[in-house]
Structure 1
């Protein structure tokens, strides 16, 4: 399974998740009959164009088909309110993508891997724990739960007020939003100098903005992918950044230790450096080698 990055065809695809249309791309490597398939989606409040095509193109160049999609409410997928983050909705979209993928006639769906990063790194753990037919997963700088969010008194009051206002707005189909990323000490879902690097991967052509409905803050604490990590029976590659402040590496390592067939790859990096040069080349090469091994015919 090798080739040239240009030797891949990309086509638009869509599928339905709980009544809304999710849209994405299917990459098909040229010259490969019935290639294995990798399904990919982004993390917290991001879109498929934010750095992920480079990963998809590399995997396709290695002879793998790739289905890369946007969650409902993001990118050109349907759904409102826009930019709503809810891990249960995300996981439902993943499952709808898998169901759709298994209808594709030109890929080998008996060799199906899941690739997730950050928040979706937790999603692929959650899904593989419940679906033994998954061949392998890659969880890149994954969110596995276990984080303690510490806010100032002022920011705690802002969060509580925003959540309450958003719940009221949701009754009328609206939303009250809060910032996704902000500098250290500010009021945001992710507030740190590292979090501001998220903006480095945002696609300038996107309609994305740095806001998320405040109700997202109520769903995060209850979402703990590490609680089901021990049920992941397939091979798993967990990539961690040694300097990651957003999804601490020690939590990811603990989750990986619960998976009977997991291996950990550590890079001297923060959370967002894995998407960008120069580290991207090392990261994608490690992931491609893992996928080639575990998706071989």
Structure 2
């Protein structure tokens, strides 16, 4: 073996060692959670009204966020991907802000905005619309932190469509709506589905902003993440572990679907 091959082998071994250490750490963390409970105890906890309620509330609110993210987010993704205008960089930066902001900061801002003395909350109270400590507040908090994932994913998918295809559509005098429905939608469907799943997973796992806006009212605003924290802090480790395992399974299964079903890039006609 010459010196060059030896160096290459040594480099590969170092990379493999670092990779092994990291994934061993990840697996150990997951196994620690699984080893905390037994199958009998897990099944007992899953059947309890408290756990069922937290799972149901989380599914309701996160799926509502997915619906809203699609109808509100797709036009934004379309605009940012295909249009050039002044202030585009500013909008793009604002889109990144909910992702990098600590969720507790986002929750505090929403709490101030939507409270009875807030700019929006005071106006809504005149119409007897309450958002604080309600499921609607949970949806808004989750939408704020999760929607950017959908918008950014779809924007990149739309931007990747070859410009000659869009130009050909314009040359044939196709309307913008026709191009959107018959060209853009089909070509970026994988990006749309990936964005929706990522948004759903982010909304399902949201804690900071949700806890600030909706609190922890049992069977009303207690989501899975909030319940995990409350149970763990009050000594209900068995319940917290059961909910955490459900959340972990949900996240793993749907992320695996994204990787296997939508992991490949969209293919465009020549």
Give the TM-score normalised by structure 1.
Answer: 0.25
Q: Hey, which of these two has a bigger chunk of strand by percent? A: 1
Q: Hey, which of these two has a bigger chunk of helix by percent? A: 2
Larger Rg: 2
Q: Which has the higher contact order (CA 8 A, sep 6+)?
A: 2
Give the TM-score normalised by structure 2.
Answer: 0.27
